[in-house]
Amino acid sequence: METIFCLLHTDTDGSLPKAALETLGAAKSLNAALAGSTLVVGLVGVDVQSAANRVASCGAKKFVGAAGADFAQARYATDAAAAEALCRSVLATVVIAPATSRWSRVLPGVAQRFNGRADTHVTGLAVSGSAVAINRWYYRQRMEAQMSRTQRPWFLLVDPGSQPAWQGEAGVAAVEAVAVNLPEACQRTTVTGLREPAADAQTIRPDANLLFVTGAGWTKKQADGQTHVPEAEKLIRDFLNLTRASLGSSKSLVDLGGEGQAVLAFLTHLNQIGQTGSTPRHPKGLSTCCHGEEPHTVGWRFISERRAISLDPNCGWARGKADVLYVADAFAVMKRVNELLAQKAG
């Protein structure tokens, strides 16, 4: 009989991140499909009551919480202690948590404390026979496995955006407080703040409808034998302003910065998509001046509709990686795209 423990943390404002509601949805579905299982919800944060109330009607048998100022910061030592105490208190056998940066840092280590196991980047949960089975990708999204395990507790980190969010009424939840032992050694690290680009320079927008990818072609010599980097920069910025798309990049383009070449000032490694970059989820993606090589396109695994503009009709996009490849000059096309978008906006 599995005890399915949906382990959530609050955001700094006490609310639940979207990924938490998605994970709860997955935990609930698993609970419904798995005969004899029970669902328990655990919460960690400064104050967890309002978050518990938000999901009060989810059908959990009980709610447990670790609350206090120590859990204001996303710090390994204190978060691990809280997660450990909560899992112990409910004798969790399957722990389902959102793969936020906060839980991803911590939960594999917590699994080790129980001699349990952790699997991450979970994109699907199901019951196969009478056992829990999960889907996850291997070799950077190149192949997908369905697997199950005998070890318990089994910690599952569910990829944000892979599950529909739980929807239900708020209410009043009775939260059982769990004490967490925090020795002084837990305080050796202090989170001192966040570094983020100014609001107008923030180009990574996980909730955007469109991923706009720029490749090294934007900085290469064009038909006239010249580079046109300032022009490229303006076209890209204007497009982002007009569409609020999220900006991705190929590795070659972001690496140019480290090599001291003229590059687009607003790009960093955080924008990089692919093998050694990110694998974002957006309904649509538009690639420009990028060759569509495999180490790049593995980062497009979860982009549903894909279009690309490249001068090269034999680039990777042409070989089944995009729905549409426009063989054209991206400078000319994007200039016109921006004009049309501006007209429609005006």
Partner 1 sequence: MSSAFQIVVCGSLVPDPLQTLEPVTGPTGPALKNEMMLPAVLDPWASHALYEAANLAKKAPGSKVWLVSLGPKAKLQQVMMTVAQKAPFELVALDGPASGFTDAFETAAALADAISAIPGLDKSKLLVFGGWESASRGAGVTMQVIGERLGIVDQFQGVDELTPNPDGSFQVLERIEGGRHQISRCAGAPAVLGWATGNLPEPKNNPQVGMVNMRTVMPALQKAKPVKVGAEGVTYASVTLPKQQRETRLVKDASPDDIAREIVEWIRQ
Ligand X SMILES: Cc1cc2nc3c(=O)[nH]c(=O)nc-3n(C[C@H](O)[C@H](O)[C@H](O)COP(=O)(O)OP(=O)(O)OC[C@H]3O[C@@H](n4cnc5c(N)ncnc54)[C@H](O)[C@@H]3O)c2cc1C
289 lies in the binding site for ligand X (CB under 6 A): yes
Using CB distances below 5 to 8 A depending on partner kind, what does residue 220 bind out of partner 1, ligand X, none?
ligand X
* Among 293, 303, 322, 337, interactor with ligand X by CB under 6 A: 293
Find the part of the chain contacting ligand X (CB under 6 A) among 39-47, 84-92, 197-205, 305-313: 305-313
Closer CB to partner 1, 2 or 293, in the complex: 293
CB of 341 to ligand X, least distance (A): 19
Report how far residue 236's alpha carbon sits from residue 309's, in angstroms, rounded to the nearest whole number. 14
The SS3 call for residue 242 is helix
Using CB distances below 5 to 8 A depending on partner kind, what does residue 137 bind out of ligand X, partner 1, none?
partner 1
37 lies in the binding site for ligand X (CB under 6 A): no
Instruction: Please give the residues from 125 up to 154 whose contact with ligand X meets the rule CB under 6 A.
Output: none
Report how far residue 189's alpha carbon sits from residue 74's, in angstroms, rounded to the nearest whole number. 10
Q: How many CB atoms lie within 10 A of CB 282?
A: 22
Contact, 213 vs 288, CB < 8 A?
Answer: yes
Quick one: which of 219, 212, 216 has its CA closest to 239? 212
219 lies in the binding site for ligand X (CB under 6 A): no
Q: 167-200 burial, b if ≥16 CB within 10 A, otherwise e?
A: eeeeeebebeebebebeeebeeeeeeeeeeeeee
Contact, 321 vs 297, CB < 8 A?
Answer: yes
309 lies in the binding site for ligand X (CB under 6 A): yes
Find the part of the chain contacting ligand X (CB under 6 A) among 95-103, 111-119, 262-270, 324-332: 324-332
* Among 204, 229, 242, 311, interactor with ligand X by CB under 6 A: 311
Backbone φ, ψ for residue 255 (5° rounding): -65, -30
CB of 232 to ligand X, least distance (A): 9
CB of 62 to partner 1, least distance (A): 28
CB of 329 to ligand X, least distance (A): 4
337 lies in the binding site for ligand X (CB under 6 A): no
Using CB distances below 5 to 8 A depending on partner kind, what does residue 291 bind out of partner 1, ligand X, none?
ligand X
CB of 141 to ligand X, least distance (A): 11
The SS3 call for residue 287 is strand
Q: Site for ligand X (CB under 6 A): how many residues? A: 29
268 lies in the binding site for ligand X (CB under 6 A): no
Q: Can you state the angle between helices 101-113 and 76-90, rounded to 10 degrees?
A: 60
Closer CB to ligand X, 98 or 274, in the complex: 274
CB of 230 to partner 1, least distance (A): 20
Using CB distances below 5 to 8 A depending on partner kind, what does residue 1 bind out of partner 1, ligand X, none?
none
Q: Residue 129 is encoded by which pair of tokens?
A: 């026979």
Q: Residue 101 is encoded by which pair of tokens?
A: 């940066």
Report how far residue 241's alpha carbon sits from residue 138's, in angstroms, rounded to the nearest whole number. 36
User: Bridge partners of 213?
Assistant: 248, 287
227 lies in the binding site for ligand X (CB under 6 A): no
Closer CB to partner 1, 205 or 220, in the complex: 205
Q: Angle CA(304)–CA(310)–CA(316) in degrees, nearest 5? A: 60
Question: Exposure of 259 by Cβ count < 10 A (0-12 exposed, 13-18 middle, 19+ buried)?
Answer: exposed
Which residues sit at the interface with ligand X, rule CB under 6 A? 215-217, 220, 222, 250-253, 272-277, 289-291, 293, 295-296, 309-312, 315, 329-331
